[in-house]
Amino acid sequence: MIELRNVNKTYVMDGRRKVVADNLNVIFPTRTAVAVLGRNGAGKSSLLRMLSGAMEPDSGEIIRTGTISWPVGFAGSFHPDLTGLQNTRFIARVYGVDSDALVEFVADFAELGQHFNLPVRTYSSGMKSRLAFGVSMGIPFDTYLVDEVTAVGDASFRHKSEALFAARMKNSAAVMVTHALGQVKRLCKHASVLEEGILHYYGTDLDGAIEHHTELMKVR
C-alpha cells in the first residue's frame, strides 16, 4: 500500500509554474493494479518518481508499506560501461536476491541475445527498456511502478510482457502509467486521471476514467 497525505509538488521552468501535485490525498491499495491516465506533461512520471522515493514532494507525506520497485521503464540507473549481465548482477546484490537466478530470468525474458554481454551504452532505447522491465519483474516487489514499458517490442514480446505482468499482479500491486486504454481494461482493477495536479481516483469505474481521459485528450 502507498498513501499520499497532503502531497504537493510544483516545478518552475522558464518563469512558468507547473503544478504536478496539488494537495493529493489518495491510497493505492495492496494487490491492486491502478492505472494513472492523463495528458503528456500532466506529471504522471513525476508522480511515479515521488512514489518510488526518487523525488521528494515539496510538502506532505508519502507512506509506503512493503517493497516498492523503481519506476519500471527507467533505465537511467544502468551503468553504461557495464554489460546487461553485469548490471543485472549488480542490481541483484543491491536488492539481496540470488544473482544467478535473476541473470537466468532476464537473459530468457529480455531476448537480448549476444547484446546481454555487451555494454549498455551500445543498446537502443527499446533494448534498455526490455532489460529494465526484465530486471524489475525478476525481483519480487509488493508494489510495481510501471511507466509504459509493456509497449516495448513486437506483438509477441508485448504479449509476453503483459502475461508476466498479470502473473505478478496475483500477489502484488502496481501503479501503472499508460496511454494504452486497452491495457487499462486488461491489466488494471482501478483507474485514475491526473490533471492540473489533481488525481481523480475512479476506483473500479474504469469506463469513467477512460471517458475522462478521452475528453482531456481532445483539448489542446
According to the model, what pLDDT value does residue 70 have? Answer: 82
The pTM (predicted TM-score) of the whole model is 0.87
Strand pairing of 16-28 and 173-177? Answer: unpaired
- Measured between alpha carbons, how far is 21 from 24 in angstroms, rounded to an integer? 6
CB 148 within 8 A of CB 178: yes
Choose between 149 and 199: higher pLDDT.
199
According to the model, what pLDDT value does residue 61 have? Answer: 96
Exposure string of 93-126, with b = 16+ CB inside 10 Å and e = fewer, is eebeeeeeebbebbbebbbbeebbeebbeebeee
According to the model, what pLDDT value does residue 74 have? Answer: 58
Residue 159 neighbours by CB distance under 10 Å: 12
According to the model, what pLDDT value does residue 37 have? Answer: 96
Residue 113 has pLDDT above 60, yes or no: yes
Query: Tens digits of per-residue pLDDT, 31-64?
Result: 999 999 999 888 998 999 999 998 999 999 999 9
- Measured between alpha carbons, how far is 182 from 116 in angstroms, rounded to an integer? 31
- Average pLDDT taken over every residue of the chain: 90
pLDDT-based confidence at residue 128 (cuts at 50, 70, 90): confident
pLDDT-based confidence at residue 99 (cuts at 50, 70, 90): very high
| Three-state SS at 173 | strand
* C-alpha cell of residue 48: 511515479
pLDDT-based confidence at residue 139 (cuts at 50, 70, 90): very high
Query: Tens digits of per-residue pLDDT, 157-185?
Result: 888 888 888 899 999 999 999 888 988 99
Query: What CATH superfamily classification does 1-67+171-220 receive?
Result: P-loop containing nucleotide triphosphate hydrolases (3.40.50.300)
